[in-house]
Structure 1
Amino acid sequence: MRKPRDFDAELKSLEGKARDLKARKVQQLGELVISTGADALTADELAGALIVLAETKDAGKREAWAKRGAAFFQGRARRSASASDRDAGGVTTQPDSAQPASSGAGT
């Protein structure tokens, strides 16, 4: 006879994973704000700018923003790789941050 599934334990585990993913997302968004220099803005300025960005439906603007963001991340990856090359004696290491997909979605 099969052992019955403990749905409560599974649900509790999934809720914990969801909570961890949400915390990680919030931390990564904070790191993004800091790395772009947007932490110099007031909370009101940053919120207003993000609202305008989120409301923009112009595909051309969104594509331009996506390209600029991709260039930002590629430039950071190159700088990280050069610093790692010096520190690791020429061995290239991968940066810790995830690279955005080149789909142009601009999330």
Structure 2
Amino acid sequence: MMEKIMRRPRDFDAELKALNEKAAQLKTRKVKQFGELVIATGADTLSIEELTGALVTIAATNDPQKREAWATKGLAFFQGKTRTTRNQPKGNNQGSAKGPDSNTAA
């Protein structure tokens, strides 16, 4: 005769807590990487008003040609082709962190 095997009920509270902790870690890593990017590009020499104005302008721009040009410049930066503001090591740093918690890209 086959016995019914009872499954353990899922602990939704524990799963939700784990997801919230993971989300907080990802947000913290994203903020840290953004700060590192600001420093690496030399944008840390700009005033907060200048940097904010530039970001607001970029975010409000819908022109695909401008956005593509910015993306091309960004890619060149990460490939080490335009690093004139800082003396950074060259390489393909596609924005992923190197470390034990770098399983997902931000």
TM-score grouping bracket, smaller chain normalisation: 0.7 to 0.9
Higher relative helix content: 1
The answer on 1:13 being equivalent to 2:23 is no
- The Cα of 1:75 is off from its aligned counterpart by 1.0
Structure 1 runs of 4+ with >6 Å offset = none
Structure 2 segments unaligned to the other structure (5+ residues): 1-5, 82-88, 97-106
2: CA distance, partners of 1:49 / 1:96: 22
The one-letter code of the counterpart of 1:80 is K
Residue aligning to 1:59: 64
The one-letter code of the counterpart of 1:46 is L
Distance of aligned partners of 1:73 and 1:15 in 2 relative to their CA distance in 1, 3 Å threshold: same
The answer on 1:34 being equivalent to 2:39 is yes
Residue aligning to 2:3: none
The one-letter code of the counterpart of 1:71 is A
2: CA distance, partners of 1:62 / 1:36: 18
1: CA distance, partners of 2:26 / 2:94: 16
The one-letter code of the counterpart of 1:27 is K
TM-score (norm 1): 0.72
Task: State the structure with more CA Rg.
Answer: 2
Residue aligning to 2:90: 80
Residues 34-70 of structure 1 deviation map (CA, whole Å, 9 limit, x = unaligned): 0000000111110011000000111111111111110
Give the structure, 1 or 2, with the largest relative contact order (CA under 8 Å, sep 6 or more).
2
How many residues were matched structurally?
A: 86
Residue aligning to 1:70: 75
Query: Please, what is the CA RMSD of the aligned residues?
Result: 2.3
2: CA distance, partners of 1:49 / 1:97: 21
TM-score (norm 2): 0.73
Q: Between the two proteins, what is the percent identity of the paired residues?
A: 60
